[in-house]
Amino acid sequence: MTDPSGSTPGTGRSRTGNGTDDRDRDVVLRTDDLRKVYADTVALDGVSLTVERGEFFSLLGPSGCGKTTLLRIIAGLERPTAGDVVVDGRSVTALPASERDSHMVFQDLALFPHMTVAENVAYGLRRAGVDRTERERRVREALELIGLPEYGKRDPAALSGGQRQRVALARSLVTEPALLLLDEPLSSLDRQLRQDLQVELQRVQSAVGTTFLYVTHNQDSAMSVSDRIAVMREGRIIETGTPETLYEHPRTEFVARFLGDANVLSGEVLATNGKGTTAQGNDTGETDDTNDTSARSRPDNIVRLGALGTEIDAATNGFEPSVGDRVSVIVRPEAVTIESDSGSLGGRVLSASYKGFYNEHELELDDGTVLEARTDGDGPRPSPGERTTVDLERAAVVRSYSDGRDPDGEEGQPGAEPGAEARTAAGAGTPAPDAKAQRRARTGTGTGTETGTGSRSDGD
């Protein structure tokens, strides 16, 4: 018999919804149907996820999607309105933060200015009653781990931003928590330093093996460091998967746009083998892709693109469209080949930009469809006005919000009404359309095709 949290009374062990013991999967964190309501605002709406021991797991989403609220509930800094938090097989929902086997690294770092670096790192050990000899040994090892072995006697005010970030990380890791929670710790750093510390976070996490739960709204950061990512929107998890799967084979148009630039084309399914995909999704948006590779989804469908009239193979991930379905097809700019000998499409170059290691082109096909193309820096570089041939190498069929349904929820969810795509993109951090984007939108309206550009935000 189990209690409502899913724990077997008296055992301290917790079972997943399918009856599998968490320890069988070495799950360090599980949330069950978490809900948080502030007055009339729903911050979290039934969030369930699992994080396995040793994972670098990221919560990614636009500002206001609920990711920080979720992290604070896991940390014990807020109580959920409903649902359960399970850490190492034990429900901790009713426990204060001080009694949970987790530590949190905040945005503002919160180092004690009246303590030295070593004293800051040792703070948690001292409170836990660790003896002085052991404390000094562990502090020394922690400072060596973060590359600051000679900085123990310095004041935090004498450190750079990146060094303070490392000290905050060491202070949280030195107590050896089962779970380290990171609340956008790199958001206040400049771009180069943020990239350097992303590498450092990966190195440290790999060295200690601690499970990291990392909250960010920065797509580049999440894609760079994560084993898996959960993409959130309006208090819900939309999709969960490896960075490769979410980028190459997204299940939803929202995730496709949010994770990077995307040409969004409309089409009709002409044929499907009915086998769907080897990575089956569930009703939380989580994909069973623990051993995932970028090839888990196969080109299972033949789709005729609306105004183009051409037929392409397109993969699906977690759902199976039917013949005759109107679908959205995602083609990444790097999957658009120009000056291709096998190119079945013709058009002209509207603009061309050299970006160093890649070239960026805006193309207008003969039927008026506008596409973005991205090629290697030493690849073809046709000039604006020139004609070219075009081939679409890879494509993915995704669920769209345009049919009035949230793809992982019930009909009529907020933001899922017909015509919501523009507002969805804006919610994802996409800037207001400029003249070029407005021209694309007009082109899409006339042809049944739309070119959408996701943004990779670097700020808040």
Q: What 8-state DSSP symbol labels residue 433? A: P
pLDDT digits (tens, 9 = 90+) for 331-359: 999 999 887 666 678 899 999 998 888 89
What is the per-residue pLDDT for 245? Answer: 92
pLDDT on residue 420: 30
pLDDT above 70 covers a percentage of the chain that reads 73
- The band of 411, judged by pLDDT with boundaries at 50, 70 and 90, is very low
* CATH class of the domain comprising 22-233: alpha beta
Give the range with max mean pLDDT: 16-25, 167-176, 420-429: 167-176
CA distance linking residue 429 with residue 216, whole number of Å? 13
Q: What residue segments make up the domains of the chain, in order of their start? A: 22-233, 253-452
Q: Of 388, 386, 372, whose CA–CA distance to 453 is shortest?
A: 372
pTM over 0.85: no
- Residue 276 pLDDT > 50, yes or no? no
CB atoms within 10 A of CB 450: 23
Tens digit of each residue's pLDDT (9 = 90 or more) over 99-122: 999 988 887 667 888 999 999 999
> pLDDT-based confidence at 401, cuts 50/70/90?
low
Q: What is the pLDDT of residue 393?
A: 87
> Mapping DSSP to helix (H, G, I), strand (E, B) and coil, where does residue 155 land?
coil
Q: Is 184 left (phi over 0), alpha (psi -120 to 50) or beta?
A: left
Helix (H, G, I), strand (E, B) or coil at 289: coil
Q: How confident is the model at residue 416 (pLDDT cuts 50, 70, 90)?
A: very low
**Per-residue pLDDT at 76:** 94
pLDDT tens by residue, 285-326: 444 443 343 334 445 788 888 777 788 888 888 778 888 888
Take residue 334 and report the two structure tokens written for it: 């790097």
